[in-house]
């Protein structure tokens, strides 16, 4: 199951037990399955209440702070990143490994000491050339670490270089095979290290004034490993699929064990080693270099991967090693660089005050190779930046992972091992078996369907969002050949008090008068509205339900062929939420029940609905939806509001500003602190009858395992509330 033996001791993670048990070492907690397999979940959480019970159990049990626990954490790291054995009472429990992140720099210092001994032996004792000594030291480094971080560097290079989407990048990174990008970057990395070490020269050991290759090797190994605890603490951790997912996916929750105290300890250790070798000033420069590397690497990881992962941490350590060796090389030539910089500043100062002409400045730069090279580099950089800014490029496509916190099964490993070309015309039996297995959670079944689609004779992800829809439908219908022949569309309509004219007690929030709501329903009743035309063209069963029109639609059209009047209708529409609650508690319950009943009726009438589409009609409901999102998330109204229904494509900025003011007044009128964790209260205070009905319909559909198409701002707001309820 694992890529190497050093991951094997924690096989207990594979077991599914109802309570913690002991591993072979007699000390390792065995975590039940499902604890560690929620790929894509966010880990930037600080509240102890939302941290896994397994983590809290670990901290309250064998993971309690003690000298023995700290020794175990250190040796867990030591045996994890090196080939050297540890005490028999140490295994690879990921809880101790994460706590041991504090000792990554210390382990790096010991590794660097081991490596530099080989360099000094080759130079001083064997009198070999510096290049050969550098090669020997690098070989020693690869041996003692088992090329552990280099493996991450290669996997990251293959994924980032070969993947076009985030999903592809993550999938390639979990592939244990070595690709073109991995080979190329490994070759460049080793050549760069060997050359920089060779250029450092013979080791000179003097407290605070060291120089040469030996001290540089120790410092680069020490400080580069400081990036790991810093990145794990400050960035989201992306769960890893593939052969190593059982071990590494525990990091998704266990990352909370990397506290700021441990990051500070790791930083202090790194700084102390740097001071002993190079003095305070140079140590501060080196630590600053590490912090800049962490900042750049972290932002790049979030943009590209959504966070950090094991392979990416290893890649960062390798790149930072070369970065630190480069800094140390530059520091040996500091005086030359300082003189060059001051001369350059002096020339530009002369140019600014007029004592040096433009042509003379160009001649000066052209005649000096250093300045000419710097000028060319700056010109290319500026041109490239302008080109990318003007021409642009598509952002990294992110396929949002489906939220699932249920327990997963062994099928995920089998799916991760599927390869292109192994599929027949029909799906493999394991796919149908997985889709119909009630014990396998939604996320794992979804991944099964996506893995099958990726294995077909086509570029991965080439069908875009269609593949996402196909996979979701396959899960809902428990079939590898999903269909959407029976589709129903339910449109709920209601008026909002906040959209009334000010003379009628409203806030006049929309560009359209409230009477437009009934006009739209008239179009739907006569099959003239856009939804009517689209439904007829696609053979979709359409039904419109009045749950809160301000007018009596039924008195005009009677029962209606398309539009129906709900028995739970909020007569007269909702109240102006700037003056009080939009809905009473009874009205809210009635609207949710109306949505449930209509959904149930639709399902029973069509016998087997394969997809439900919800829609809405109601002037002012974008204002209501914006207010709901602002109340439930705490997000400022200015970040949410748009024009809503407008009379032109551009929209009126004054309408947006008016909406923002209305929403801010409404939230201030109600108890914002109570609504943020209470979707029912928010819906009662700020919602609309049609929004509440859609929430009820979605809840009913979810209980009946029927997929719902979520489209549009108002329906998306209802979906968010349904999830929170």
Angle at 629 between CA 682 and CA 564, to 5 degrees: 70
Q: Which residue carries 């209305």 as its tokens?
A: 662
Residue 46 has pLDDT above 50, yes or no: no
What are the domain boundaries of the chain?
A: 101-332, 336-391, 411-477, 487-724
Query: Between vectors from CA 239 to CA 44 and to CA 186, what angle results, nearest 5°?
Result: 110
For 441-451, the pLDDT digits (tens) are 888 888 888 88
- Report DSSP letters for 460-474, one per residue: TTTTTHHHHHHHHHH
Asked if pLDDT for residue 211 goes beyond 50, the answer is yes
How many other C-beta atoms lie within 10 A of the C-beta of residue 379?
A: 10
For CA atoms 460, 414, 33, 55, the dihedral sign is negative
> How high is the pLDDT of residue 172?
85
Cα–Cα distance for residue pair 452/443, rounded to 1 Å? 14
**Phi, psi torsion values for 412, nearest 5 degrees:** -65, -35
Q: Are 606 and 704 in contact (CB under 8 A)?
A: no
Residues with Cβ within 8 Å of 80's Cβ and at least 6 positions away in sequence, in order, are: 6, 92, 97, 100
Residue 702's CB: how many other CB atoms inside 10 A? 14
Q: Are the CB atoms for 696 and 594 separated by under 8 Å? A: yes
Q: Specify whether the CB–CB gap between 33 and 444 falls below 8 A.
A: no
Q: What is the pLDDT of residues 175-203, one digit of tens each?
A: 778 889 999 999 999 999 999 999 999 99
Bridge partners of 29?
A: 22
Question: Tell me: the pLDDT tens digits for 408-442?
Answer: 344 344 334 443 334 444 455 678 788 888 788 88
pLDDT of residue 30: 33
* Strand partners of residue 268: none
Dihedral class, residue 713 (left if φ above 0, else alpha if ψ from -120 to 50, else beta): alpha
DSSP 244: G
- Assign 3-class secondary structure to 411-426: HHHHHHCCCCCCCCCC
Q: Which CATH architecture has domain 487-724?
A: 3-Layer(aba) Sandwich (3.40)
Classify 52 as helix, strand or coil.
coil
Burial class (CB in 10 A: 0-12, 13-18, 19+), 593: middle
Asked if 600 and 689 count as a contact pair (C-beta separation under 8 A), the reply is: no
pLDDT tens readout for residues 303-316: 888 888 889 999 99
Alpha-carbon torsion 252, 256, 260, 261, what sign? negative
For 497-542, the pLDDT digits (tens) are: 888 888 887 787 777 788 888 889 888 888 888 888 999 998 899 9
d(CA 69, CA 62): 8
**DSSP string computed for 609-674:** -SEEEEEEE-TTHHHHHHHHHHHHH---GGGT----S-SSSS--HHHHHHHHHHHHHHHHHS-HHH
pLDDT above 90: residue 461: no
Instruction: For the chain, give the mean pLDDT.
Output: 81
What is the 8-class DSSP label of residue 197?
A: H
Q: How far is CA 217 from CA 323, 395, 448, 516, in A?
A: 12, 38, 46, 75
């Amino acid at each position: 199951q694992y890529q190497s033996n050093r991951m094997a001791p924690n096989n207990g993670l594979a077991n599914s037990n109802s309570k913690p048990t002991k591993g072979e070492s007699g000390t390792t907690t065995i975590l039940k399955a499902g604890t560690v397999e929620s790929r894509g979940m966010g880990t930037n959480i600080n509240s102890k209440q939302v941290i896994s019970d397994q983590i809290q159990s670990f901290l309250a049990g064998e993971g309690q702070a003690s000298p023995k626990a700290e020794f175990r954490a250190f040796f867990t790291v030591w045996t994890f990143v090196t080939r050297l054995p540890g005490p028999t009472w140490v295994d690879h429990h990921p809880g101790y490994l994460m706590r041991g992140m504090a000792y990554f720099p210390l382990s790096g210092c010991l590794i660097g000491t081991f490596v530099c001994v080989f360099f000094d032996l080759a130079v001083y004792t064997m009198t070999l050339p510096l290049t050969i000594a550098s090669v020997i030291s690098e070989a020693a480094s690869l041996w003692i670490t088992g090329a552990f971080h280099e493996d991450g560097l290669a996997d990251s290079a293959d994924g980032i270089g070969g993947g076009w989407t985030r999903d592809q990048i993550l999938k390639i990174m979990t592939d244990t095979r070595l690709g073109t990008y991995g080979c190329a970057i490994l070759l460049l990395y080793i050549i760069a290290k060997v050359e920089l070490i060779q250029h450092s020269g013979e080791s000179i050991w003097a407290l605070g004034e060291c120089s040469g290759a030996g001290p540089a090797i120790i410092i680069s190994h020490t400080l580069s490993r400081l990036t790991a605890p810093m990145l794990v603490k400050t960035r989201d951790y992306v769960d890893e699929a593939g052969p190593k997912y059982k071990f590494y996916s525990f990091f998704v929750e266990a990352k909370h064990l990397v506290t700021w105290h441990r990051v500070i300890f790791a930083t202090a250790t790194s700084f102390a080693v740097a001071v002993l070798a190079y003095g305070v000033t140079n140590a501060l420069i080196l630590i600053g270099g590490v912090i800049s590397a962490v900042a750049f690497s972290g932002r790049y990881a979030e943009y590209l991967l959504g966070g950090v992962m094991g392979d990416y941490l290893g890649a960062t350590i390798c790149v930072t090693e070369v970065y630190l060796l480069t800094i140390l090389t530059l520091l040996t030539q500091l005086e030359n660089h300082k003189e060059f910089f001051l001369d350059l500043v002096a020339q530009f100062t002369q140019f600014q005050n007029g004592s040096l002409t433009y042509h003379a400045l160009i001649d000066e730069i052209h005649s000096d190779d250093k300045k000419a090279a710097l000028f060319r580099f700056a010109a290319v950089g500026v041109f490239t930046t302008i080109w990318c800014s003007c021409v642009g490029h598509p952002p990294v496509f992110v396929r949002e992972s489906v939220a699932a916190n249920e327990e997963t099964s062994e099928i995920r490993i089998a799916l991760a091992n599927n390869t292109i070309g192994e599929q027949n015309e029909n799906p493999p039996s394991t796919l149908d078996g997985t889709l119909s297995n009630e014990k396998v959670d939604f996320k794992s079944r979804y991944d099964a369907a996506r893995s099958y689609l990726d294995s077909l004779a086509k570029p991965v992800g080439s069908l875009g969002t269609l593949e996402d829809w196909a996979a979701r439908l396959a899960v809902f219908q428990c079939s590898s050949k999903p269909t959407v022949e029976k589709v129903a569309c339910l449109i709920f309509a209601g008026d909002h008090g906040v959209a009334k004219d000010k003379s009628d007690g409203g806030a006049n929030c929309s560009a359209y008068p409230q009477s437009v709501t009934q006009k739209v329903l008239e179009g739907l009743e006569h099959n003239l509205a856009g939804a009517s035309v689209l439904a007829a063209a696609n053979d979709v069963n359409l039904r419109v339900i009045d749950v809160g029109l301000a007018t009596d639609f039924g008195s005009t059209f009677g029962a209606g062929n398309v539009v129906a009047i709900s028995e739970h209708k909020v007569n007269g529409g909702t109240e102006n939420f700037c003056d009080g609650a939009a809905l009473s508690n009874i009205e809210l319950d009635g609207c949710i029940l109306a949505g449930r009943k209509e959904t149930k009726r639709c399902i029973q009438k069509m016998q087997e609905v394969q997809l439900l589409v919800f829609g809405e009609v109601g002037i002012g409901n974008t204002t209501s939806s914006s207010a709901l999102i602002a109340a439930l998330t705490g997000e400022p109204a200015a970040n949410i509001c748009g024009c809503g229904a407008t009379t032109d494509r551009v929209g009126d900025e004054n309408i947006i500003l008016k909406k923002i003011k209305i929403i801010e007044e409404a939230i201030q009128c109600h108890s914002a602190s109570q609504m943020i964790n209470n979707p029912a209260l928010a819906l009662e205070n700020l919602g609309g009858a049609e929004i509440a009905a859609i929430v009820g319909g979605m809840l009913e559909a979810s209980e009946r395992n029927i997929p719902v198409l979520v489209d549009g701002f108002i329906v998306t707001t209802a979906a968010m509330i349904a999830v929170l309820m």
